[in-house]
Each structure stands twice: as C-alpha cells, then as structure tokens.
C-alpha cells in the first residue's frame, strides 16, 4: 500500500485515546517504531494516546511503559491477523508479539 493509511486497525477513524477515550491532548503513537515506523503508518498500526500515556512515566515511551507498549503491540497484531495472515504480519514486522 502506498502512502499513509489514515485508518487505525485498532480504532478505525476514531480520534480518541485508545486507553481512556479522552479526546484532548492526543498524540499519534506508531505501535511498531524504529525501522517499522513507516510500515506502521502505511498499514494503520497506530493509535491515539493522551500525552501522559504516550510520553509520561507510565506511557509507552516512559520509564514504566513496557506493559502498555506490549499490550498495544499484541492488540494490533491480533486485529491485523483477523483480516490478514500471520505470515503477512511476520513479513511486515518480522517479530511475533503473541
């Protein structure tokens, strides 16, 4: 797929925090980062999170955010594999989170 996908596999077109449902102070979080950031954008592997859940101490990029980060990776893989194959996910991301 070329270009950025505007629909999240986890949230559809909803622009609210995936965890709290809040609609203020949101940031887009690419679930698979680093070399997979563009793949995340192109395939809808992103969610919206509040600033605190994105960059705060317990946020996905925070000191204590590992559990939330893993939950998002697993939720995203499950959602993707409901419509696509496990093999396709592995081709895209290269790691199994389930």
Where is pLDDT greater, at 79 or 65?
A: 79
Q: Helix/strand/coil (H, E, C) string of the chain?
A: CCCCCCCECCCECCCCECCCCCCCCEEEEECCCHHHHHHHHHHCCEEEEEHHHHHCCCCCCCCCCHHHHHHHHHHHHHHHHHHCCHHHHHHHHCCCCC
Rounded Cα distance, 83 and 33, in Å: 22
Instruction: Note the pLDDT tens digit of each residue in 11-60.
Output: 998 899 999 999 999 999 999 988 888 899 999 999 999 999 999 998 99
pLDDT mean over 81-88 = 96
């Amino acid at each position: 797929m070329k270009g950025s996908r505007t629909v999240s596999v986890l949230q559809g077109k909803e622009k609210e925090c995936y965890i709290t449902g809040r609609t203020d102070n949101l940031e887009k979080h690419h679930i698979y980062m680093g070399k997979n950031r563009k793949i995340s954008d192109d395939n809808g592997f992103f969610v919206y999170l509040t600033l605190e859940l994105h960059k705060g101490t317990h946020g996905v990029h925070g000191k204590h955010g590992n559990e939330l980060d893993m939950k998002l990776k697993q939720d995203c893989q499950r959602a993707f594999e409901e419509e696509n194959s496990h093999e396709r996910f592995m081709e895209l991301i290269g790691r199994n989170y389930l």
